[in-house]
Amino acid sequence: MSKSYVVGIDGSEGSIRTAQYALAQADKAGASLKVIHVLEWSPYSFLTPEELEERHKRRQEELERAKTAVIGPMLEKLGSDSAEGEVRYGQIAEVISNYCDEIGADQAFVGRHGGGGLTSRLFGSVPGILVQISNIPVTVVP
């Protein structure tokens, strides 16, 4: 069974460094690299069927836009045949953790954001939450 690593990205300069570091580690370990970008999306149960249909249409457009604007450029920057991209919706840390479980990943990588505002202190940052809920080792890249 071959190893696979997952790196969560958001398109920022920090996520480029994180993806490059994750690729270097994957290459050393002979692992494939899965690059995932998560779009925040929460379901609303009180929408009408027409509103739900429109929302679904916008969701598909956002998925396509994220593939071309975030995943595509990142894969080009990495320049590796072993890296693949994925875009998902949901709560970022939870989606990354579930994706790692789904593909049987051996390790996850995420970048540390320098902001650390009030929201992340109250509710937790993506790296902090992922470290707590993940079933595999998580490397937080500064």
Q: What rounded mean pLDDT belongs to the chain?
A: 87
Question: Is 135 or 115 the better-scoring residue by pLDDT?
Answer: 135
Is the pLDDT score of 1 beyond 60? no
Q: Which domains does the chain have, with CATH numbers?
A: 4-141 (3.40.50.620)
For residue 131, give the nearest of 94, 86, 78 by alpha carbon.
94
Q: SS in 3 state form for 29-61? A: HCCEEEEEEEECCCCCCCCCHHHHHHHHHHHHH
For 94-133, how does the pLDDT look when each residue is reduced to its tens digit (9 = 90+)?
A: 999 999 999 999 999 999 874 455 444 444 588 999 999 9
CA 37, CA 115: separation in Å to the nearest integer?
19
Query: Are 21 and 27 contacting, i.e. CB atoms less than 8 angstroms apart?
Result: no
